[in-house]
């Protein structure tokens, strides 16, 4: 993650951020290749300048890049989160600029990003369906079935704004539910303990403006020691079982998705907020909402919760998080949220952005990624 400290032009700040990233990667053992990145922008008009910096920085090895109109907290014009990989057996293919596959040790990860619906002015439902169809087409081009998707990010402008008689996020949920109908996610890769249908992990979060941008990742392998494990939080109702008051068609995602690869576990934490069971907690209090959100993440990734889902000897602590995104609804709450996060997360890298959350009474949302090692259980 990189956030510029200078406050010059957007182009100068982007140059600073990407040079800082290059210095970090250069200092690691062995060459590293950035494969997938998200750029958060204070102003949409700065995207063209950032695109030129990205093109000059990466050349023909440009990673899949998603530009999001979410102002970084703290006043920077942009910030960036990038994923990089290195190692002798890694093979990277780029069928097109918004699609990348990474293969090693019998595992293939596929990323697509920056997916914007081709149709506009026809409502969130139809534009969302078109976005999901584009993701499906990108995955097909990479030779990956749509049911191998395990993580999505859905960035919707004016997420709690009206769309007819309902909110725009509700229409996105309706489109997602309809598109996912009859899709058997995780087919062939689910842990034997999973005896029900699953959905990908996901974040649905607001942006400035009214556009919709999507990204997704998929996992495919023939290895017998690689499994997917969808995780739910014991103190939260699964979102796909939410009451109709929150959305006529419930959001179709799981609280987290764990990839169990041999003796290692990677956990993708979905967008998480201050919710217990299905109700918002600590309305109007950004400090308590931040604390509750972190507690929900802590419970979700804990060894006890993975054991509850059928995987013993695995799980993670907050210190095992590799990165966290914190979405803050009101800019004035940023210092409070940051103080709580720095105390609870310690040195875990965090990016803070200003973004509307999917409920009007939620003030903060977070997502994360954690790595852990599976230990033998006697």
Angle between helices 286-301 and 334-345 (to 10 degrees): 30
Classify residue 4 by its DSSP letter: -
Measured between alpha carbons, how far is 124 from 135 in angstroms, rounded to an integer? Answer: 16
Q: Show the tokens assigned to 125.
A: 């439902």
Strand partners, 368: 269, 324
Q: Show the tokens assigned to 141.
A: 């081009």
3-class SS string, 217-258: EEEEECCCCEEEEEECCCCECCHHHCCCCCCCCCCCCECEEE
Strand partners, 321: 370
- Go through the domains of the chain in sequence order and give each one's CATH number: 1-88 (3.30.1330.40), 89-373 (3.30.1330.40)
pLDDT at residue number 378: 65
Strand partners, 220: 108
Measured between alpha carbons, how far is 365 from 329 in angstroms, rounded to an integer? Answer: 8
Q: Show the tokens assigned to 240.
A: 């796909």
Measured between alpha carbons, how far is 268 from 286 in angstroms, rounded to an integer? Answer: 24
Which residues have C-beta within 8 Å of that of residue 330, sequence separation ≥ 6? 286, 354, 363
pLDDT at residue number 375: 86
Chain centroid offset of residue 76 CA? 21
pLDDT at residue number 193: 85
Task: Compute the chain's Rg from CA coordinates.
Answer: 20
pTM attached to this predicted model: 0.97
Q: Show the tokens assigned to 318.
A: 């907050």
Measured between alpha carbons, how far is 144 from 109 in angstroms, rounded to an integer? Answer: 10
pLDDT mean over 42-54: 97
pLDDT at residue number 119: 83
Q: Give tens-digit pLDDT for 105-126.
A: 999 999 999 999 888 778 999 9
Percentage of residues of the chain with pLDDT beyond 90:
93
pLDDT mean over 200-224: 96
CB atoms inside a 10 Å sphere around CB 100:
24
Q: Is 182 helix (H, G, I), strand (E, B) or coil?
A: coil
Residue whose C-alpha is closest to residue 361's, from 253, 246, 271 = 246
Which residues have C-beta within 8 Å of that of residue 80, sequence separation ≥ 6? 1, 2, 17, 18, 21, 37, 38, 39, 40
Q: Give tens-digit pLDDT for 188-199.
A: 899 888 878 899
Q: Give tens-digit pLDDT for 243-253.
A: 988 899 999 99
Is pLDDT above 80 for 90? yes
In the β-sheet with 32-41, what is the strand arrangement from edge to edge?
Answer: 64-68, 32-41, 78-86
Residue pair 294/341 in contact by the 8 Å Cβ criterion:
yes
Angle (CA) 51 56 61, round 5°: 95
Q: Show the tokens assigned to 175.
A: 């489109």
């Amino acid at each position: 993650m990189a956030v510029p400290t200078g406050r010059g032009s957007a182009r100068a700040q982007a140059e600073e951020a990407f040079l800082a990233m290059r210095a970090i990667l250069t200092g690691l053992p062995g060459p590293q290749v950035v494969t997938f990145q998200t750029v958060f922008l204070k102003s949409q008009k700065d995207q063209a300048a950032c695109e030129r910096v990205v093109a000059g920085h990466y050349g023909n090895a440009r990673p899949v890049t998603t530009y999001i109109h979410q102002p970084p907290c703290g006043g920077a014009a942009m910030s960036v989160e990038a994923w990089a990989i290195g190692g002798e057996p890694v093979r990277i293919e780029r069928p097109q600029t918004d699609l990348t596959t990474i293969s090693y040790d019998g595992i293939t990860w596929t990323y697509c990003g920056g997916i914007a619906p081709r149709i506009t002015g026809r409502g969130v439902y139809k534009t969302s369906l078109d976005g999901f169809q584009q993701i499906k087409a990108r995955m097909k081009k990479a030779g990956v079935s749509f049911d191998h998707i395990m993580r999505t990010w859905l960035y919707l402008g004016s997420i709690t704004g009206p769309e007819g008689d309902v909110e725009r996020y509700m229409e996105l949920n309706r489109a997602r539910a309809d598109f996912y109908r009859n899709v058997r996610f995780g087919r062939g890769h689910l842990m034997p303990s999973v005896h029900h249908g699953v959905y990908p992990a996901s974040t649905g979060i607001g942006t400035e403006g009214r556009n919709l941008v999507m990204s997704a990742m998929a996992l495919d392998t023939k290895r017998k020691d690689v499994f997917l494990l969808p995780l739910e939080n014991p103190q939260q109702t699964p979102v796909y079982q939410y009451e109709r008051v929150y959305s006529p068609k419930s959001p179709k995602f799981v609280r987290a998705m764990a990839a169990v690869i041999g003796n290692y576990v990677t956990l993708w934490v979905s967008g998480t907020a201050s919710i217990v069971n299905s109700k918002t907690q600590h309305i109007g209090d950004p400090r308590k909402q931040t604390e509750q959100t972190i507690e929900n993440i802590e419970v979700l990734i804990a060894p006890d919760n993975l054991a509850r889902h059928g995987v013993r000897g695995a799980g993670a602590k907050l210190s095992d998080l590799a990165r966290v995104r914190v979405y803050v609804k009101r800019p004035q709450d940023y210092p409070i949220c940051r103080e709580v996060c720095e105390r609870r997360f310690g040195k875990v890298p965090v990016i803070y952005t200003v973004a509307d959350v999917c409920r009007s009474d939620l003030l903060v949302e977070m997502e994360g990624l954690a790595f852990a090692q599976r230990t033998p259980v006697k």
